[in-house]
C-alpha cells in the first residue's frame, strides 16, 4: 500500500472508524445538530450539552465512511469539557489542518491527536468527510449560543 | 470521408456479424484508456457515469472545428451549408439508431435530463390537473423524479411509485394496479443506473397503452448497451445522452411520437425555433426545430454522429454478448468474496454491479481502489430512493463497457483485497 493511503488510513482512524467513541444518543442535549453530505449520503447527528458556555457532554450517531466517523469520534473526545470559544478555535485550526498544504507547527501542536487526519489534505474528494462532524459542531454551537442568548435575556 | 478511413474497427480484420471482433484492438481506439493512474494501468469501470470516447469521435469534433465550423440553418454560403449538413446528418443517424418513423421526431437537447424536463414542461404541465397521477418506478435516477415533482407542484398532480422487489425488479402486478383512470403518463427507466436492472419495458408499454396511457422511457443507461427500436416498443417518448454512448457531453436526444410533438408548445423561445416573428405574433418553426431554440451544440452533435457510426460498426449483437460476458465474469468474481453483497440481482441485467462491503463504506472502497488504478463510483448514484429501498447509505458501483476486459475486473478484485487488508 502506498504512503499517501497509509497516511490517510492510520491505525487510529481505522480504530475510531470501526468503533466510534461516544456513539449514542445524549439524554436532554442542549442541541442536536444534523450533519449531511448529499454527495455521498453520510449523515450524522451531533448531540451537545452546554452549560455556562462550556461543552459538558457530547455524542453522535449516524452512518458514514471511516473518515467521517473517525473524525467526529476524535473531535468529540477533544471537545468535552472545554469552553465553547475554544471549540470554535479548534474548528478553525482543524480546517487549516485539512486544507493548508503545510500547517504551522503551532497549529499541529495545538491539535495534538487530531493531526492524524492531516493525511486527508492529499485527498481533495475526502475533505468533506473529515469536516462533516466539525461543521455540525460549528452549526450546533452557533445555535446553542443564540438559544442561550434568547433564554438568558 | 477521413472519418471512415480512420475508423479502426472497419480497417481491422473483424467481421461484426460473426463476432470475431478483436476487443483488444478495439480498446486501443480509446486513447484515454491507455493511461496510468497512481502508477497503475487505469481500469476505468465507471461507464454508467460517462463513457470514454473513441478516436473517431475526438477526430470528428476536431475536424469540424478545423474545417467545417459555421452556424447552422442560417448562412447561405458553402461553409454554413456544410455545417448544417453534418449537424442534420446526425439526426438521420439517430433516427436509424432508434428506428424512429421520421427524422422530425428526433430533437437535440443537452442530455437525458433536459429531454425529460422538456416533456415535463411542454407535454405534461399544460395537460395535468389536480388529482392526476404520473407513474414512475422506485428505481429512477433523480432526473426522472425531480422534473415530475416540479410539474406536480405547479399543477396539483401527484407522483405514484411502482414498487420493486428485493431482486430489484419492477413488480408488474403492482404496476397493473397502479395504472388507473387518473394516470396521465408512465415515466420509467429502461435500465437502472444504480442496480443494472433491465426493465420489461415492452410489456409495461403494452399494459399502459391498453389504458391509453402514454409512456416515456429514460434510456440514458440503455441506448449504448442494447439495441432500441422505438417503433417496436411503441413508446411515446425516449430520452438518452450522447456522453453515455461514447459521444461528447452536452448533447442528448428526445425522441417523441410526431403527434405528441406537434401538439406540444415549444420549451424555449429564440432563434431557429421560429418561422416568422412580428411583435404582434410569432409563428413557430416546424418539427424538430420548434424545440431547438438558439445555436445548438453543433460540434457535439457532429461528434455524437461519429459515436453512433462507431456503435453500429461494432454492432449491438457483439456489444450485448461481450458486456454480458463481462457482467458474468465480474459477478462470479465478486460474489465469491465473503463480506461483499451485490445490490440488484435482477434476472435481466446490464453490465452494472452495485455492491457493499460489511467492513468498509463505499467511499473508503473507492479511495483505496483509486490508488490501485481502479475508477469506480461510490455514493447514491443520483438515486437516493433506491438506497433507501435497499437500506444502504451508499454503494460502490462498477459499470462496464465493451472496451473493458477481464484484466480490469481482476484489478478491481485485487483492489478489494487491499480494502479487506486495511479494514478487517
Ligand atoms: C438512468 C439515468 N437517467 C438519466 C440520467 C441523466 O443523464 P444526464 O446527466 O446525461 O442528463 C442518468 C445519468 O446518470 C441516468 O443514469
A145 to chain B nearest CA, in Å? 32
Q: Give residue-wise pLDDT tens across range B225-250.
A: 999 999 999 999 999 999 999 999 99
Alpha helices in B69-169 (DSSP H): 78-98, 112-118, 125-127, 146-155
At residue A143, the pLDDT reads: 83
Note if B359 is an active site residue. no
* Least CB–CB distance from A40: residue in B379, B421, B423: B379
Instruction: List residues in chain B touching A: CB distance below 8 A.
Output: 38, 360-364, 367-368, 371, 378-380, 384, 387, 393-394, 418, 421-423
Q: How many CB pairs under 8 A join A and B?
A: 57
Q: Give residue-wise pLDDT tens across range B260-308.
A: 999 999 999 988 888 889 888 888 999 999 999 999 999 999 999 999 9
Neighbours of B249 (CB within 10 A): 16
At residue B89, the pLDDT reads: 98
Distance from first CA to last CA of chain B, Å, rounded? 57
> Which residue ranges of chain A lie beneath pLDDT 50?
151-153
Q: Give residue-wise pLDDT tens across range B83-123.
A: 999 999 999 999 999 999 999 999 999 999 999 999 999 99
Band of pLDDT at residue B6, cut at 50, 70 and 90: very low
Closest residue by Cα to residue B379 from B366, B364, B394: B394
Question: pLDDT at residue B8 above 50?
Answer: no
Q: Across the interface, do B364 and A67 touch by the CB < 8 Å criterion?
A: yes
A3-148 placed in CATH 3.50.50.60 = no
**Complex ipTM value:** 0.89
Instruction: List residues in chain A touching B: CB distance below 8 A.
Output: 1-2, 4-5, 8-9, 14, 17-18, 39-43, 63-67, 123, 125-126, 129
At residue B11, the pLDDT reads: 38
Contacts of A50 (CB under 8 A, 6+ apart): A30, A31, A56, A84, A141, A144, A148
At residue B14, the pLDDT reads: 46
* Least CB–CB distance from B393: residue in A2, A8, A41: A41
Ligand 1: which residue has its CA nearest to atom 15? B220
Going from N- to C-terminal start, the domains of chain A cover: 3-148
- Please count the residues of chain A: 153
* Residue of chain A whose alpha carbon sits nearest to that of B393: A41
Q: Give residue-wise pLDDT tens across range B365-406.
A: 999 999 999 999 999 999 999 999 999 989 999 999 999 999
3-state SS assignment for residue A100: coil
Q: Give residue-wise pLDDT tens across range B137-191.
A: 999 999 999 999 999 999 999 999 999 999 999 999 999 999 999 999 999 999 9
At residue A39, the pLDDT reads: 78
Going from N- to C-terminal start, the domains of chain B cover: 10-53+315-423, 59-312
Active-site position among B14, B152, B359, B382: B382
CB-CB contact of B114 with B300 (8 Å): no
- The domain defined by B59-312 folds into 3.40.640
Q: Across the interface, do A40 and B421 touch by the CB < 8 Å criterion?
A: no
Separation of B222 CA from ligand 1 center, angstroms? 10
Rounded distance, CA B274 to CA B266, Å?
Answer: 10
B318 or B273: whose pLDDT is higher?
B318
Separation of B143 CA from ligand 1 center, angstroms? 7
Separation of B220 CA from ligand 1 center, angstroms? 5
- Domain B10-53+315-423 and domain B59-312, same fold? Reply is no
A98-127: string of b/e by CB count within 10 Å (b at 16+)?
A: beeeebeeebbebbeebbbbbbbbebeebb
Q: Across the interface, do B361 and A66 touch by the CB < 8 Å criterion?
A: yes
* Residue of chain B whose alpha carbon sits nearest to that of A4: B371
* Residue of chain A whose alpha carbon sits nearest to that of B38: A2
Residue B80 C-beta-side C-alpha neighbours within 13 Å: 8
User: Which of B9-13, B330-334, B373-377, B380-384 is the least confident region?
Assistant: B9-13
For domain B10-53+315-423, the CATH architecture is Alpha-Beta Complex (3.90)
Q: What is the mean pLDDT of residues B334-339?
A: 97
Amino acid at each position: 500500500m502506498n504512503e499517501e493511503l497509509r497516511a490517510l488510513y492510520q491505525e487510529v482512524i481505522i480504530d475510531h472508524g470501526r468503533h466510534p467513541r461516544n456513539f449514542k444518543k445524549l439524554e436532554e442535549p442542549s442541541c442536536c445538530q444534523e450533519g449531511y453530505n448529499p454527495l455521498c449520503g453520510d449523515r450524522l447527528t451531533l448531540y451537545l450539552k452546554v452549560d455556562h458556555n462550556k461543552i459538558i457532554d457530547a455524542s453522535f450517531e449516524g452512518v458514514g465512511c471511516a473518515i467521517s466517523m473517525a473524525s467526529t469520534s476524535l473531535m468529540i473526545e477533544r471537545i468535552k469539557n472545554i469552553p465553547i470559544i475554544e471549540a470554535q478555535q479548534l474548528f478553525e485550526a482543524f480546517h487549516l489542518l485539512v486544507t493548508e498544504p503545510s500547517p504551522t507547527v503551532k497549529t499541529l501542536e495545538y491539535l495534538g491527536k487530531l493531526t492524524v487526519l492531516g493525511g486527508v489534505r492529499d485527498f481533495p474528494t475526502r475533505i468533506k468527510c473529515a469536516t462533516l462532524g466539525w461543521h455540525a459542531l460549528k452549526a450546533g454551537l452557533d445555535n446553542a449560543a443564540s438559544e442561550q442568548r434568547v433564554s438568558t435575556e | 470521408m477521413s472519418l471512415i478511413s480512420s475508423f479502426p474497427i472497419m480497417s481491422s480484420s473483424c467481421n461484426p456479424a460473426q463476432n470475431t471482433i478483436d476487443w483488444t484492438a478495439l480498446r486501443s481506439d480509446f486513447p484515454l484508456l491507455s493511461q496510468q493512474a497512481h502508477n497503475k494501468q487505469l481500469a476505468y469501470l465507471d461507464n454508467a457515469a460517462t463513457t470514454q470516447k473513441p478516436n473517431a469521435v475526438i477526430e470528428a469534433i476536431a475536424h469540424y472545428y478545423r474545417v467545417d465550423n459555421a452556424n447552422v440553418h442560417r448562412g447561405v454560403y458553402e461553409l454554413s451549408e456544410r455545417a448544417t449538413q453534418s449537424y442534420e446528418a446526425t439526426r438521420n443517424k439517430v433516427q436509424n439508431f432508434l428506428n424512429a418513423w421520421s427524422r422530425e421526431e428526433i430533437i437535440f437537447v443537452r442530455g437525458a435530463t433536459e429531454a425529460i424536463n422538456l416533456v415535463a414542461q411542454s407535454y405534461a404541465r399544460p395537460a395535468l390537473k389536480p388529482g392526476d397521477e404520473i407513474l414512475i418506478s422506485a428505481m429512477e435516477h433523480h432526473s426522472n423524479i425531480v422534473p415530475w415533482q416540479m410539474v406536480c407542484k405547479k399543477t396539483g398532480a401527484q407522483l405514484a411509485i411502482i414498487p420493486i422487489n428485493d431482486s430489484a425488479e419492477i413488480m408488474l402486478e403492482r404496476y397493473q394496479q397502479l395504472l388507473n383512470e387518473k394516470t396521465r403518463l408512465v415515466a420509467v427507466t429502461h435500465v437502472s443506473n444504480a442496480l443494472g436492472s433491465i426493465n420489461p419495458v415492452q410489456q409495461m408499454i403494452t399494459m399502459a397503452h391498453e389504458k391509453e396511457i402514454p409512456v416515456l422511457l429514460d434510456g440514458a443507461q440503455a441506448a449504448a448497451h442494447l439495441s432500441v427500436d422505438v417503433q417496436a416498443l411503441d413508446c411515446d417518448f425516449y430520452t438518452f445522452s450522447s456522453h453515455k454512448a461514447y459521444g461528447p457531453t452536452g448533447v442528448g436526444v428526445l425522441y417523441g411520437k410526431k403527434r405528441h410533438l406537434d401538439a406540444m408548445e415549444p420549451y424555449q423561445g429564440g432563434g431557429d425555433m421560429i418561422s416568422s416573428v412580428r411583435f404582434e405574433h410569432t409563428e413557430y418553426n416546424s418539427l424538430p426545430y420548434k424545440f431547438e431554440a438558439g445555436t445548438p451544440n453543433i460540434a457535439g452533435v457532429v461528434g455524437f454522429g461519429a459515436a453512433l457510426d462507431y456503435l453500429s460498426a461494432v454492432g449491438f449483437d457483439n456489444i450485448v454478448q461481450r458486456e454480458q460476458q463481462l457482467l458474468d465474469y465480474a459477478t462470479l468474481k465478486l460474489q465469491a468474496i465473503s463480506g461483499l453483497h451485490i445490490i440488484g440481482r435482477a434476472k435481466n441485467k446490464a453490465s452494472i454491479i452495485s455492491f457493499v462491503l460489511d467492513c468498509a463504506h463505499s467511499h473508503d472502497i473507492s479511495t483505496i481502489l483509486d490508488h490501485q488504478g481502479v475508477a469506480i463510483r461510490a455514493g447514491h448514484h443520483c438515486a437516493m430512493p433506491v438506497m433507501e429501498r435497499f437500506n444502504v447509505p451508499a454503494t460502490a458501483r462498477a459499470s462496464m463497457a465493451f472496451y473493458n476486459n477481464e484484466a480490469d475486473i481482476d484489478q478491481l478484485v485485487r483492489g478489494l483485497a487491499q480494502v479487506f487488508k486495511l479494514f478487517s
